[in-house]
Structure 1
């Protein structure tokens, strides 16, 4: 049995834990709780929770148009628990969701491409990004 369980839905996310996880990233460490809460309210939220402590140890969001594409974002696992299957379980849960299973998935990653390749994501040179204004 795994030491963690996958959780789904905004109501099951622990906002303090999500913010602490995001603070460990290069892409979201500057976000305010207000920004993140708004983003989460308009996304499908996933996480992993430690069975022993009940503490949330991972987070991911999915944004979709329901017909063609989903955007996988904010995937983060507690740094001390990486390489223990948490991220894999999170991605497997997301990718088997009937809402996303047959859609094209996109994501932005500068350093985890080998991890996402295991789930069928491929590098593309067609992408462009317009950065958000720093608040």
Structure 2
């Protein structure tokens, strides 16, 4: 699949995997509530095996945000690791990032999207996300200590 780009003002969103600053993504995820302690190599693999959406400042090329979608491109997508640099929050960039990824041409016609969030329900609701319609059907295998023990 070829990379896509969208530009707005001094920012560009790109799905070019080679453009992702994995170390910058890792630094942010290290301080997040959902991926604290995640090893760099795990971040690297997660980018390699998903569809990444990097947000970059055009004037400097610096990575300012990120999201990734894990998908089969036919029926299902899981949205993960969404963030905007602290200094840029409140400028609508997170909204633009989510708007862009749900409109991506390769992600249309999917039966189900999932995500997990503790604090951004309003953002995702603007793009059609709702609480689980049948939570009793869902299960998880959860291992919050995996990064402390090491994985693979």
What TM-score, normalized by structure 2, do the two folds share? 0.81
Matched, 1:130 2:141: yes
Give structure 1 regions of 4+ aligned residues with deviation exceeding 3 angstroms.
none
Matched, 1:117 2:125: yes
Residue 52 of structure 1: how far off its partner (Å): 2.3
Matched, 1:80 2:91: no
Matched, 1:68 2:79: no
Give the greater-gyration-radius structure (CA).
2
- Does structure 2 conserve the Cα–Cα contact (< 8 Å) formed by 1:21 and 1:77? no
- For structure 1, list consecutive stretches of 5 or more residues without a partner in the other structure: none
1:94 to 101, 116, 119: 101
Distance 1:60 1:11 in 2: 15
Residue 53 of structure 1: how far off its partner (Å): 2.1
Deviates more, 1:89-98 or 1:35-44: 89-98
Higher relative contact order (Cα pairs below 8 Å, separated by 6+ residues): 1
Distance 1:11 1:19 in 2: 15
In the other structure, the counterpart of 1:5 is: 12
Distance 2:33 2:17 in 1: 23
User: What's the C-alpha RMSD, in Å, of the aligned pairs?
Assistant: 1.5
- For structure 2, list consecutive stretches of 5 or more residues without a partner in the other structure: 1-7
What TM-score, normalized by structure 1, do the two folds share? 0.91
Residue 71 of structure 1: how far off its partner (Å): 0.5
Distance 1:57 1:129 in 2: 31
